[in-house]
Amino acid sequence: MDLLLVEDKDSFRRLLSQALEGTVWKVRAVADPQEALRAMEAQSFHVLVTDLRLPGISGLELIRRARRLNPRLRVVLMSAFGEPKDIVEAMRLGADDFLPKPFDLDAFLALLDRLRALVGAPPPDPAEPWVAHSPAMQTLESELRQAASSSLSVVFRGERGSGRERCARRLHVLRHPAAPYLTLPASTLGPEGPDPRMLQLLEGGSLFLAGLEHLSAAASDALARAMDSEPGRHLAWIGGVDPQGILAPDVAQRLGSLELRVPPLRERREDLLALARQLLDQGAKREGRPAPWLERTAERQLLNHDWPGNVRELEVLVGRTLLFSEGHAIRTFPDLGLGLETPLFLPWPKAGGLDGMLKAVTRTAEAQLLRRALTGAAGDLPRAAEGLELTVRTLAQRLRDHGIPLEDRGSIDGEGSLPRKTP
């Protein structure tokens, strides 16, 4: 992992750099904050460690600019002269921790270990919206709060696209919102089971296993062993499974302590319009435009539809409609069948050599084809892999390469990626 160290005192900069030699961190150490900004413009770093008092601009200003360049950047502020107001401002700007100088190197390394976990498995946004107006969702919310007060493993049973992964994020936030969180499609597990290093990374956090019905017999045995292992006992296990999915006995014994039913969208009519408006707001913000409102005719269409694809179907429908709408209101949804005949929109690549531009266009097209395959397979990774004539592991790796989430893409509140307009 890449770490940028900004410290103007040569001796202390060398000391910290030497302390990180032989670790997982690849360190770039600089004395000048302007040089640090140029480095961040040229390269994406996982963690920034900076002094408060620097030549030219302060550490606080550096954090402010760095977070604009990379909103996901993890930040540690150091200082021998830190005033409470400086620490408060640093936290407001997104710093994860403050180290008063002088500090123990072991404490410094322990802090970086915690940040490494949060980089590799970032916790969900505690402010992620949660729509629960319907009686079915209010019941589920009550069950989630009860489950959050225990350390029991939980399995969410629901239809594809209903939002099992969103429920897992909700449970994690109710339990320990600042801890690491990771989603892992069960279909990607082989006979060796989950990587022990990944389990160590998640210590104190949660692992959501999506699509447990796709576990092979060998993977089920390996998963049971992983749950019994030392690192496995220090994290919360959460699973997702289809309504008729059957868990292997060893897995059911360890993971099925508590099963919660995720209601399909057709049982959540009271939530429909709130979900649709939320999706419109999110998509419009990404487009930098005002969110259109729903006219009564469009609202009636949503309320009269059967929603066989659940929240994921609503997500795709709203995204497609927003893509082709130009006015301030949506009067009708032209296609509730959700066919896949929409054009392939590709942005112009950055100007340069032809070969480089073609590679950029090809990569963008590949990402869109992968998303389309996932949508067409209703989020079922094995079915999408079969349609693309790839192995599940190859497809999972391609999705990771493009930063496309591997989880059950249905979100209980409709949150997710919408299509974007391109020039």
Domains located in the chain, CATH noted: 2-120 (3.40.50.2300), 135-264 (3.40.50.300)
pLDDT value at residue 185: 92
pLDDT value at residue 345: 66
- What is the per-residue pLDDT across 295-308, written as a single tens digit (0 to 9) for each? 999 999 999 999 98
Extract the tokens encoding 37: 């900004």
Residues paired with 48 in a beta bridge: 4, 75
DSSP annotation of 21: T
Tell me whether the omega of the peptide bond preceding residue 102 falls within 30 degrees of 0, making it cis: yes
Please answer whether residues 396 and 406 qualify as being in contact, where contact means their C-beta atoms are separated by less than 8 angstroms: yes
Cα dihedral 41, 44, 48, 53, rounded to 10, equals -10
**Which residue in 311, 219, 331, 324 sits closest to 266, CA to CA?**
311
Q: Strand order of the sheet with strand 47-51? A: 26-30, 2-6, 47-51, 74-79, 97-100
**Which residue in 398, 407, 406, 321 sits closest to 367, CA to CA?**
398
pLDDT value at residue 344: 65
pLDDT value at residue 343: 61
- One-letter amino acid at 250 equals D
Sequence-distant (≥ 6) Cβ neighbours of residue 39 within 8 angstroms: 4, 28, 30, 45
CA–CA dist 76, 112 (Å, integer): 9
Q: Strand order of the sheet with strand 258-261? A: 181-185, 206-210, 236-241, 154-157, 258-261
DSSP annotation of 212: G
The DSSP line for 225-290 is: HHHHSTGGGGSEEEEEE-TT----HHHHHHHTTEEEEPPPGGG-HHHHHHHHHHHHHHHHHHHTSP
The terminus-to-terminus CA distance of the chain in angstroms comes to 35
The distance from CA 210 to its chain's CA centroid, rounded to whole angstroms, is 14
Ranges of the chain with pLDDT below 70: 82, 335-345, 375, 378-379, 405-423
